[in-house]
């Protein structure tokens, strides 16, 4: 490749999000005016590879989505959070509890990531005494 032309200098400071870029390119495609040059320019302002833009366009045409594919997230139930609180935040104890309960158990590292993610997002582990008291109240009912 040679030196960037005038477009390269202009596009260097621009950034466009995926939904905006894909929507505009789909408009051009519907009008029958989409060219490889448009996709190259879109890749440049999108900060991605040209092949990536083609893949985005294909996903928009076939699946109707312009955003990233949603990913399944591992979530802990309130009961699992209670076990974690009872263990004083010890994720290894929660992991052993899940193994004993049977079924599919995520790895210990995955559990650590989930707990860290949720704690950083603002979830608070209940105090051990509170969990113990609630459990005793449920038993006495």
Q: Which domain holds residue 27?
A: 6-63
The rounded distance, in Å, linking the Cα atoms of 135 and 18 is 48
Q: Is 71 among the domain residues?
A: no
The pLDDT tens digits of the residues spanning 19-36 come to 999 999 999 999 999 999
Query: In this predicted structure, what is the pLDDT of residue 88?
Result: 85
Question: Are 57 and 111 in a shared domain?
Answer: no
Question: Are 40 and 90 in a shared domain?
Answer: no
Chain centroid to CA 71: 6
Q: Residue 55 above 70 pLDDT? A: yes
Q: Is 96 among the domain residues?
A: yes
Q: Residue 139 above 90 pLDDT? A: no
Structural domain count, the chain: 2
The pLDDT tens digits of the residues spanning 56-115 come to 999 999 999 889 888 888 999 999 998 998 888 899 999 999 999 988 899 999 999 999
Question: Are 15 and 42 in a shared domain?
Answer: yes
∠ CA(117), CA(52), CA(13), 5° rounding?
Answer: 85
Pair 54, 29: CB distance under 8 Å: no
Question: Are 96 and 135 in a shared domain?
Answer: yes
Q: Residue 50 above 70 pLDDT? A: yes
Q: Is 72 among the domain residues?
A: no
Chain centroid to CA 127: 30
Question: Are 11 and 40 in a shared domain?
Answer: yes
Question: Are 110 and 85 in a shared domain?
Answer: yes
Question: Are 14 and 55 in a shared domain?
Answer: yes
Q: Is 70 among the domain residues?
A: no
């Amino acid at each position: 490749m040679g030196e960037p032309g005038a477009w390269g200098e202009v596009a260097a400071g621009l950034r466009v999000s995926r939904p905006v870029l894909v929507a505009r390119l789909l408009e051009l495609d519907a009008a029958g005016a989409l060219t490889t040059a448009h996709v190259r320019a879109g890749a440049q302002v999108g900060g991605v590879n040209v092949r990536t833009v083609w893949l985005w366009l294909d996903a928009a045409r076939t699946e109707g989505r312009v955003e990233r594919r949603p990913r399944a997230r591992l979530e802990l139930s309130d009961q699992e959070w209670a076990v974690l609180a009872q263990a004083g935040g010890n994720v290894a104890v929660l992991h052993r509890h899940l193994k004993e309960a049977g079924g599919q158990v995520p790895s210990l590292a995955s559990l650590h990531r989930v707990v860290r993610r949720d704690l950083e997002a603002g979830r608070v582990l209940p105090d051990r005494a509170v969990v113990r008291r609630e459990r005793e109240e449920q038993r006495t009912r």
